[in-house]
C-alpha cells in the first residue's frame, strides 16, 4: 500500500509539471527526496535542469538540446530519447514506470553497463517482477500498470499522469479493501538510497 501511495504522489507531481508545460527528461530516484511528516513519507521531485517546455516552438525547443546529444540517465531513459525522437510527457511516464518497477522489485528491469541498459530499454522485453525478484508478490493490476508505463512505444503508455493517478487511486482502494496482497517493504526508499 505504501508503494501505491508514494507512486501516486510522484505521478501527480509529474502531472503538475506537465500541466505547466514541462517535461522533466531525467526523472529517477536520485531526483526524488523523501520528506518525513509524522508516519508519512512525502516525495519531492527535484532537478528540472534537463526539462524542456512543451509550449516552446519546435525551433526554440530544438535550441535547448544539441542535435544528436541524448540527455537522461540510461537506466531510466525512454526509447524515444535514445533514438533522439521528439519527447513529451509520456517520456517521463516511461521513467516513472522504471522507478515504480524498481520500488516493487528492489532493482531496475535491467542490469549492465550504461550503454547495455540503454540498449535493453530500447529492445529487450521487461521481465515480470516476480521473475526479476523471486518471492516478491505484486497485485496483478499494479504490475499491468507498470508494464504499460514501460512500453517501448509511447503510444502504448498511459496518455497522461492524471490517468496514472486515477489508476493508482483505484489500486489503493482495491488493496485497502481486500488486504490480500503484501507489497514489498521498500527498504531502498526507507534507507535513503533514493534520496539523491
Q: How far apart are CA 138 and CA 3, in angstroms?
A: 10
Q: How far apart are CA 101 and CA 18, in angstroms?
A: 22
Q: How many CB atoms lie within 10 A of CB 161?
A: 24
138 Cβ neighbours under 8 A, 6+ residues apart: 104, 129, 130, 146, 181, 183, 184
15 Cβ neighbours under 8 A, 6+ residues apart: 160, 161, 162, 164, 165
Q: How far apart are CA 82 and CA 79, in angstroms?
A: 5
> Which of 26, 47, 88, 92 is labelled catalytic?
26
β-bridge partners, 35: 42
Backbone φ and ψ of 159, nearest 5° = -75, -25
Catalytic residue status for 26: yes
Cα distances (angstroms) measured from residue 77 to each of 93, 96, 132: 10, 10, 19
What are the catalytic residues? 26
Amino acid at each position: 500500500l505504501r508503494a501505491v501511495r508514494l507512486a501516486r504522489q510522484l505521478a501527480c507531481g509529474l502531472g503538475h509539471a506537465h500541466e505547466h508545460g514541462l517535461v522533466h527528461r531525467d526523472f529517477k530516484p536520485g531526483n526524488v527526496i523523501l520528506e518525513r511528516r509524522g508516519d508519512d513519507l512525502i516525495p519531492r521531485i527535484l532537478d528540472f535542469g534537463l526539462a524542456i517546455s512543451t509550449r516552446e516552438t519546435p525551433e526554440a525547443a530544438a535550441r535547448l538540446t544539441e542535435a544528436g546529444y541524448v540527455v537522461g540517465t540510461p537506466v531510466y531513459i525512454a526509447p524515444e530519447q535514445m533514438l533522439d525522437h521528439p519527447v513529451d510527457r509520456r517520456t517521463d511516464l516511461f521513467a516513472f514506470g522504471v522507478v515504480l518497477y524498481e520500488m516493487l522489485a528492489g532493482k531496475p528491469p535491467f542490469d549492465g553497463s550504461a550503454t547495455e541498459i540503454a540498449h535493453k530499454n530500447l529492445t529487450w522485453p521487461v521481465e515480470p517482477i516476480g521473475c526479476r525478484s523471486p518471492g516478491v508478490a505484486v497485485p496483478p493490476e499494479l504490475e499491468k500498470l507498470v508494464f504499460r508505463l514501460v512500453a517501448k512505444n509511447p503510444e502504448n503508455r498511459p496518455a497522461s499522469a492524471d490517468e496514472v493517478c486515477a489508476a493508482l487511486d483505484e489500486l489503493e482502494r482495491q488493496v485497502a479493501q481486500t488486504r490480500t496482497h503484501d507489497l514489498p517493504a521498500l527498504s531502498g526508499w526507507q534507507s535513503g538510497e533514493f534520496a539523491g
